[in-house]
Amino acid sequence: MSPRDIKQQTFDIISCFFEEEQNRICNRKVYESIESDGPGDDDGFDPVVIADKLRELGDDFDVKFIQPHIRKLQQAVADKAVEEFARSVDSLCAAQGAEVAPEMQLLRASMALGLYVKKTCPDLRATIQSCMTAFINTRLAGWINQQGGWDQVTMV
């Protein structure tokens, strides 16, 4: 087989590899309906079948190796996001006056920051939700409990 044939086959395989499921089914039917030009031309090459096998290899590698690394990366990003959220809230509190308790300033600033991100960056919603929960549980849970719980804090 010539290098040109391999290059063309590689192109066909990779094209099939990236196709959506419905397109793969259609292209498989198209490929199966193509008749060879003569004896010996039917070499059994089916880019759809090969792409499916390559996809299985990729899926297996994904499950065993990539997903665990991605989970570690996501946790590192989440940890960094929590730290940055806390820094931002502290900075917002520093800009406020001392007319309310520091804990209420933290709560007010964290809610305002959370609402702002929710409205302006919807793709960060889950991250901010997690950051806010971690921040409040770490920095304010004791104070909320001392106030008599959330019902008392939100009445202020």
Whether residue 92 is found in the same domain as residue 146: yes
33 vs 119, which has greater pLDDT? 119
Whether residue 42 is found in the same domain as residue 99: no
Among 12, 36, 62, where does a domain finish?
62
Nearest-angstrom CA–CA distance, 87 and 94: 11
Predicted model pTM: 0.48
Nearest-angstrom CA–CA distance, 95 and 79: 25
Tell me which residue has tokens 């964290």: 110
Domain count for the chain: 2
Whether residue 118 is found in the same domain as residue 92: yes
Q: Domain of 88?
A: 71-153
Across the chain, what does the average pLDDT equal?
A: 76
Summarize pLDDT for 63-117 with one digit per residue, the tens: 887 778 777 877 787 778 888 888 888 877 766 666 667 888 888 888 888 888 8
* Centroid of chain to Cα 36: 45
Give the residue from 57, 14, 93, 108 showing the smallest Cα distance to 6.
14
Among 62, 83, 101, where does a domain finish?
62
Whether residue 7 is found in the same domain as residue 24: yes
Question: Residue 23 is encoded by which pair of tokens?
Answer: 């397109």
Whether residue 81 is found in the same domain as residue 125: yes
Question: Residue 70 is encoded by which pair of tokens?
Answer: 């991605």
